[in-house]
Amino acid sequence: MDNLTLLQRIVVWILPVIFAITVHEVAHGWVARKYGDNTAFMLGRLTLNPIKHVDWVGTIILPGILLISGTGFIFGWAKPVPVDPRNFKNPRRDMAIVALAGPASNLLMAVGWALIARVGVTIGAQTEAVSLPLIYTGIAGISINLALALINLLPIPPLDGSRILTGILPGKLAWQYNRLERYGFIILLLLLYTNALGAILAYPMFVAQKIFFSIAGL
Active site residues: 25
Alpha carbons 63 and 14: distance in angstroms, whole number:
9
- What is the separation of C-alpha 68 from the centre of its chain, rounded to a whole number of angstroms? 19
| Alpha-carbon dihedral 17, 20, 22, 26, rounded to 10 degrees | 180
Question: Any residues with CB less than 8 A from the CB of 21 and at least 6 apart, and which?
Answer: 50, 53, 58, 59, 76, 77, 78, 148
Q: Which residues contact 6 (CB under 8 A, 6 or more apart)?
A: 68
Cis bond before residue 158 (omega within 30° of 0): yes
Task: Tell me which residue of 195, 32, 177, 192 sits closest to 102, measured CA to CA.
Answer: 32
Name which of 207, 178, 20, 203 is nearest 102 in CA terms: 20
Separation CA 119–CA 164 (nearest Å): 35
